[in-house]
Amino acid sequence: MEKIIIFDTTLRDGEQAPGASLNPQQKLEIAFQLEKLGVDVIEAGFPIASAGDFQAVKDISRKIKKAVICGLARCLKPDIVAAHKALMAAKHPRIHLFLATSKIHLKYKFKKAEDEILRIAKDAIRLARKHCADIEFSPEDATRSDRAFIYRVVETAINEGATTINIPDTVGYSYPQEIYSLITDIRNNVSNIEKAVIAIHCHDDLGLSTANSLSAILAGARQVHCTVNGIGERAGNASLEEVVMALATRKDVFGDFFTQINTKEIYRTSRLVSNLTDFVVPPNKAIVGKNAFRHESGIHQDAILKKRSTYEIMDPHDVGISSSQLVLGKHSGRHAFSDRLKKMGFNLDAKQLNTAFMRFKDMADKKKDIYDDDLRIIVEDEVRIIHPVWKLESFEVSSGTKIKPKALVVLDKKGKLLTAQSSGDGPVDACFKALDKITNLKAKLEDFRLEAVTSGKDALGQVSLKLNTRGVVVSGRGSSTDIVEAAIKAYLDAVNKPKSK
């Protein structure tokens, strides 16, 4: 088996994403976690870019001893000197040089000929080699460069002492077959290529960075540049977690390769980088997104409960996530609903389960997130009174700052629908007066409390009240995403108790 070197550039290319700026202490904190994760190379920053970047590279060089610590430099003497000084305390230092080679860059950015670019690369690598034995060289925008020129540049870089040759897809322009062809052609046309490790650096402008990185590995690349959560310039870089888990999961394709990444640290690393950069991980992000191991579809949930691998190609434990989640929502089925209630300690018979499930489906149509507290309320509200005398069929209210609140309530009493209309001081008062008319009770409200049972704008509201009916004080409780409906249910819960005795 061959090792794939994981070159993490979260602290350099990742931090270049607009808004992702990190101070030296934050960079050091991420570096410690990257070392724990097991990355081989940490590109700690671009020392010449700022005093903060220089300090961060210097601090990381002092503290991190397992990984290679890399500093980026243009092919300019001040950059190389700054990188050397920042890396002096590193146990395993590396200087990463880059120089654009595509025609568009040569014409518009440098205004230089190919031979002059070759001379600049040669001189820079010679200078860097005087300070550091481990030199990586990147022909920037390599995938849009003339291939014959790339061969010349790579061969020259290796002759001058570069030990790693990185091939950047700088603007995310390539597709997998193109990357495979380029790496293959470099291996076949650069006479000294066996003296260096071939690396790949892909951007995600077309959403192909991970696929392109994997294609490069199949073609012969043995180092992959990537970032945690795929952060980076524009659309970002190849995602570390995607590359690593693709290699680990698709052993039928990548069985000859391995990484030294401790995959159980992936999720923790993702959270740390997200928190420190303030870059929220999208819910549908592969591997580390909130929904990566969550299932709402009833068909999927039923299969997952029977055999996890039916809809999961990875074990969440392998990336540091405690377990899969069966999310209860409007697409969920009876199997997942019943399983969740059992885990919560409720053992319902078939009729009780059916009653609770129907209430759950009704709630799920109104509420995006269903929590365990919601389920607990459903069971308590719907199951504890098996044969209620009075059931809410429907209600309508009209209320506003310049109109008197009115309510129309329809109740079901043993299959017969009864209707009443009333006005009141507010919508709840109007409903209660309409309920009094239908039930023929003159109940006195002695206590009324409203609280949110769960979180969010669509939180389930629970009303608890006490009614004095003919000298007997009875408590009632009702819940709904609509607080008026919750109040009506609480009223009916109270009046049903004495009637059902």
pLDDT in tens, 21-31: 899 999 999 99
Please report whether residue 287 resides in a domain.
Answer: no
Q: Do 336 and 480 share a structural domain? A: no
Q: Mark which of 355, 382, 409 sits at the end of a domain.
A: 382
Share of the chain above pLDDT 90, in %: 66
Burial class (CB in 10 A: 0-12, 13-18, 19+), 425: exposed
Kindly state whether residues 423 and 399 are assigned to the same domain: yes
What pLDDT digit, counting tens, does each position of 368-410 carry? 667 676 777 777 665 555 567 889 999 999 998 889 999 999 9
Q: H or E segment at 300?
A: helix 298-306
**On the CB side of 421, how many CA atoms lie within 13 Å of its CA?**
6
241 and 369 share a domain?
Answer: no
Q: Find the angle CA(452)-CA(458)-CA(462) to the nearest 5 degrees.
A: 30
Which residue is it, tokens 């409906």?
A: 485
Closest residue by Cα to residue 203 from 172, 244, 168: 172
Same domain, 225 and 160: yes
Question: Residue 429 domain-assigned?
Answer: yes
Residue-level pLDDT at 457? 63
Residue 333 resides in a domain: yes
pLDDT tens readout for residues 240-261: 999 999 999 999 999 999 999 9
The CATH number assigned to the domain holding 64 equals: 3.20.20.70
Each residue's pLDDT tens digit, 13-59 = 999 998 888 999 999 999 999 999 999 999 999 999 999 999 999 99
Any domain includes 259: yes
| pLDDT digits 0-9 by tens, 214-245 | 999 999 999 999 999 999 999 999 999 999 99
Across the beta sheet with 406-413, the strand order is 390-398, 406-413, 416-423
- The answer, yes or no, to whether residue 501 has pLDDT greater than 60, is no
Residues 314 and 217 in one domain: no
Question: 114 with 218, same domain?
Answer: yes
- The one-character DSSP state at 110 is I
Residues 374, 435, single domain; the answer is: no
Using the Cα atoms of residue 302, residue 304, residue 309 and residue 312 in order, give the sign of their dihedral: positive
Helix (H) or strand (E) holding 469: strand 461-469
What pLDDT, in 10s, does the model give residues 431-479? 999 999 999 888 889 889 898 866 666 667 888 888 887 777 787 888 8
3-state secondary structure 397-416: EECCCCCCCEEEEEEEECCE
Q: Is residue 430 part of a domain?
A: yes
Question: 406: which strand partners?
Answer: 398, 423
- Whether residue 353 is predicted with pLDDT greater than 50 in this model: the reply is yes
- Examine residue 283 and state whether it is found in any structural domain, yes or no: no
Q: What value, to the nearest 5°, has the Cα angle with vertex 29 and ends 23 and 34? A: 120
Contact predicate 425/399, CB 8 Å = no
Residues 267 and 405 placed together within one structural domain of the fold = no
Residues 49 and 197 grouped into a single domain: yes
Does 342 lie in the same domain as 214? no
Residues 293-309 have pLDDT tens digits of: 877 777 787 787 788 88
Query: How much helix, strand and coil, in percent to the nearest 5, is found in the chain?
Result: 45, 20, 35
Whole-angstrom Cα distance, residue 337 to residue 335?
5
**Residue 78: inside a domain:** yes
CB 335 within 8 A of CB 305: yes
End position of a domain, from candidates 331, 351, 382 = 382
Could you give the number of structural domains in the chain? 3
Question: Of the candidates 380, 438, 379, which has an alpha carbon nearest to the alpha carbon of residue 411?
Answer: 438
In this structure, the answer to whether residues 49 and 127 fall within a common structural domain is yes
Residues 244 and 305 in one domain: no
| Phi, psi of 337, deg, nearest 5 | -65, -45
- Checking if the pLDDT of 140 tops 80, the result is yes
Last residue in a domain, options 351, 382, 413: 382
With tokens 């009240």, the residue in question is: 465
Domain interval for residue 486:
385-499
* Count of beta carbons in the 10 Å neighbourhood of residue 194: 9
Task: Output the domain CATH number for residue 428.
Answer: 3.30.160.270
Mean model confidence pLDDT for the chain: 90
Residue 285 located in a structural domain: no
